Amino acid sequence: MMESPGGGILGRVAEKVLSLIGLALVVLCGVALYRMEPQTRQAIWEGIWRTVVWVVIATALPWVTRFFVSRILEVGSNWAGVILLAAFTLVDLLAGLILMKGWPSGGWGWTAALTALAVAGLYNYLVTEYLAQQAGG
């Protein structure tokens, strides 16, 4: 049985409720930011800025492979790919350490840092595999 593209009345009601909940959360976050001390607010914005810079670096890095992926495929060894992925992960790690100004602190900091590094490593793998397929490998 196919569903109609517009959804039913319950779908529309759920959409409105979720939209209002999202709007309320945005307003509450804005109020919380407004009421914070300036030092805390500055620390939050600095953390957001550093995170965005790291995400841009980690996202753009594996696409550099496009320029020399055919050369790596000529080697014909999986070790070349492993070394490439290890190098990308090392660059992601170093960029993260520089932007965080050192090692993470606390359990949540370590969990977030290791999770971000794992996601970046998986992303590196998927992009390099895609680029290798595009290059005929």
| Per-residue model confidence as pLDDT tens for the chain (137 residues) | 445 555 688 888 989 999 999 999 999 988 988 888 988 888 888 888 999 999 999 999 889 888 777 777 777 777 888 888 899 999 999 999 999 888 888 899 899 899 999 999 999 999 988 888 887 76
The Cα-based distances of 69 to 1, 118, 122, 136 in angstroms read: 46, 22, 18, 10
What tokens appear for 80 in the block? 């070349």
Which pLDDT score is estimated for 41? 85
Which pLDDT score is estimated for 1? 47
What pTM value is reported for the model? Answer: 0.68
What tokens appear for 129 in the block? 């595999």
Which pLDDT score is estimated for 98? 92
Q: Helices 38-60 and 106-134 sit at what angle, rounded to 10 degrees? A: 30
